[in-house]
Amino acid sequence: MDDKVTRTRAGAIRFDKAGIVYPNGVVGMKNLDLEIRPGEFVVIVGSSGAGKSTLLRAINGLNALTSGSIEVDGEPMPKGEGRGLRELRKRVGMIFQDFRLVKRMSVMSNVLIGRLGHVPGWRSLLNLWPVRDREIAIKALERVGIADKAWTKASDLSGGQQQRVGIARALAQEPAIILADEPVASLDPVTTHQVMKDLVRINRELGITTLVNLHFLDLAREYGDRIIGLRFGELVYDGSAETVTDQDFEDIYGREVNEDDVLDEDAVQG
Amino acid sequence: MSRANPSSLPAKPARNWSLWIGVIGFLLAMTIWSAHGIGFSLADLVCNIARGSRLLEESWPPDFGFIPRLYEPFMETIFIAIIGTVVGGLLAIPVAILAARNLTLGPLIWFADRNFMNILRTLPDLFWAMLFASAVGFGPVAGALALSVFTIAVISKLWSESLEAIDMGLPEAIRAAGGTWREMIQFGAMPQGLPHYVSYALYAFELNVRASMVLGLVGAGGIGMILKTQQANFEYERVTMIILAVLIAVLIIEEISEAIRRRLT
């Protein structure tokens, strides 16, 4: 059991000269060297097409490297869809811009999907979830504050609530790492801040390594500990969120930063 | 009335008249050629229409006294259709999933399954009826087996295509959570695909009720067999009664399944 706890607490990621060239010739990642320590809260910024999603999806093997290597907690990325990759994905929760919930199912059923990797196949086939896994799902819902919605149909929730279900599903995996791919891009400003705060709080409380793709620079500054800037698949910035300047952002984007790049327009510094 | 400012819109592209004339001309030529090929002649049709009306006169009124004797073969037809739909509908599930490019297990399996589906679909249901009749003997069992194959062909073709159009975001999320292929199908694809499946299964049932009557003509049991006997005995008023009963049954079944399908979407 101790072993499991330490594994849950870990969540180190290491890219070594990693590269991804898509079949159509587009370069998604170029010669990336990057080390992320367990428990870090990293925000990834860059204009669209800069390779933010590619980077996240490489960590759970949704995108395969075409050169170099990735290690998660010292273990190399398993090759091909199989048991090895499933074991890795069990420990990596993912949150999506479009939530990706089963709309016609209850919130509880959706969160239990996070337990798929932990229960035998016959149990998921028959929807017979062990009490322990149900409790984990309920705890995950409590952590994002929507346990009262457990039996509501996912489609009946607001956008912000649906994204919380998405977070709870990731938490139910008891992951070492959470990857959030533009988690607030479909939300309104108020909900955006609530969801970002949830992510930060969970990172602090549980020590889960968290990587968040964002395109709003003020959000990156406000919530990130460490900011990573990507441009054409290359790492062009890596530093603390406290010291990042507008000039740095302009270097990352390769253009002037304007009010379209922030959620709250007042945050643009004259 | 104000008209759109001509300068704000680019010039409207000219209609392609030659294409229209070409398409219509081609269809017309094909029809005339085909009619000639089967020896169709309007003059013959007009001269002989009286013979057709004599048949209609002999067939009227329908022999309502025949209804009690229709009950048993009629129910047999329905049973054949139900068995065919249930058995074929279940077998169609894996066939359709493996034939959907986005869900299949690999290019080889996809290719094999796709071809299997094509073979099932290309061979007519009458062929299957005769094949199974020679295997298990003439009767309703052969009919039910033939319709099972027919149902696999219908549902797998329609459903595999609508499965290919589902949003792959959710299946990917299941994969990302460490789910297996089966779990990806069950939790990612089925919530989107199931309403279509039910709709196609109901449609297959409608087709099967109709087809099981035709299959009766070749000895696969059901009401088709009675129809054939009565026709051979020149009992046209009974034939009319059978056709009328079938018509009503098909209309009722269509209404019911249409009502269910409306509720699905």
Across chain A, mean pLDDT equals 90
Instruction: Name every chain B residue with its beta carbon within 8 A of the beta carbon of A169.
Output: 177
DSSP secondary structure letters along A195-239 = HHHHHHHHHHHH--EEEEE---HHHHHHH-SEEEEEETTEEEEEE
Cβ atoms of B162 and B100 closer than 8 Å: no
Q: Interface pTM (ipTM) of the complex?
A: 0.90
- Do A100 and B169 count as a contact with CB atoms less than 8 A apart? yes
Nearest CA in chain A to B174: A113
Nearest CA in chain A to B194: A104
pLDDT at A3: 42
B48 touching A (Cβ < 8 Å)? no
Per-residue model confidence as pLDDT tens digits over A155-196: 999 999 999 999 999 999 999 999 999 999 999 999 999 999
Selecting from A90, A104, A117 the residue whose C-beta is nearest the C-beta of B191 gives A104
Q: How far is A78 from chain B (nearest CA, A)?
A: 13
The closest alpha carbon to B110, from B100, B124, B120, B123, belongs to B100
Chain A residues in contact with chain B using a Cβ-Cβ cutoff of 8 Å: 60, 62, 81, 86-87, 89-90, 92-94, 96, 98, 100-105, 113-114, 116-117, 121, 124-125, 169-170, 173
Instruction: Name every chain A residue with its beta carbon within 8 A of the beta carbon of B173.
Output: 94, 96, 100, 113
**Phi–psi pair at A167, nearest 5 degrees:** -65, -45
Selecting from A90, A116, A173 the residue whose C-beta is nearest the C-beta of B183 gives A116
Residues of chain A with pLDDT under 50: 1-8, 269-270
- Do B177 and A116 count as a contact with CB atoms less than 8 A apart? yes
pTM of the model: 0.82
**What sign results for the dihedral spanned by CA atoms B207, B213, B216, B220?**
positive
Instruction: Name every chain B residue with its beta carbon within 8 A of the beta carbon of A100.
Output: 169-170, 172-173
Cβ atoms of B96 and B159 closer than 8 Å: yes
Q: How far is A156 from chain B (nearest CA, A)?
A: 16
Instruction: Name every chain B residue with its beta carbon within 8 A of the beta carbon of A105.
Output: 191
Across chain B, which has 265 residues, the per-10-residue mean pLDDT values are: 62 85 94 87 78 76 79 87 95 97 94 94 86 85 91 96 95 95 95 93 90 78 82 83 86 87 77
- Do B177 and A103 count as a contact with CB atoms less than 8 A apart? no
**What sign results for the dihedral spanned by CA atoms A82, A86, A87, A88?**
positive
Euclidean distance between the first and the last CA atom of chain B, given in angstroms as a whole number: 42
Instruction: Residue window 165-194, chain B: list those with CB within 8 Å of chain A.
Output: 169-170, 172-183, 186-187, 191
- The vertex-B245 CA angle with B85 and B144, nearest 5°, equals 25
